[in-house]
Amino acid sequence: FTLSFIAANISINTVFGITGTLNDLHSETGTNKYNFANELSLNADYLIPFIDTRINVFYKYTGQVPAFAMIDNAAYEYFIEDYNMLDINLSKTFCYHFDVQLGVKNLFDVNNITSSTVNSGATGHTVGGNSMPISWGRTFFTKLGIRI
């Protein structure tokens, strides 16, 4: 599902979706063939007219994802937790030939997300872990482009 708004100096696009991933264990476990997660993204672009500079904001939410694992011929369900990401950048053109961008990616500094841990009991096997790497963290950047 997509929703867009465009005006003189601003544009906003939102997208909502449901992403399915194949559950390889569905035939052995009798569980669903696909595991689904909600996703929402928003992209906003605004031109600041009096300084002729653009600000762009990108936000993405990824919902909780269920997953399954087999331990000792038994299926165990666990969950990968939801998380949010936010990127912001400013861009400006100088002298018709130079484009400059400054920005930050992963403003929320998401490095790891948690996944639930399932213990199979007396066997001591576990599924999932305390955290899963999702990004290397907050990143600041600058970019200079030259048009010839």
* pLDDT (tens digit per residue) in 49-102: 999 999 999 999 999 888 777 777 777 778 888 999 999 999 999 988 999 999
Asked which of 2-6, 17-21, 112-116, 134-138 is least confident by mean pLDDT, the reply is: 112-116
Higher pLDDT, 136 or 74: 136
C-alpha to C-alpha distance for 62 and 135, rounded to whole angstroms: 13
Contacts of 132 (CB under 8 A, 6+ apart): 80, 112, 113, 114, 115
Its pTM stands at 0.79
Neighbours of 55 (CB within 10 A): 15
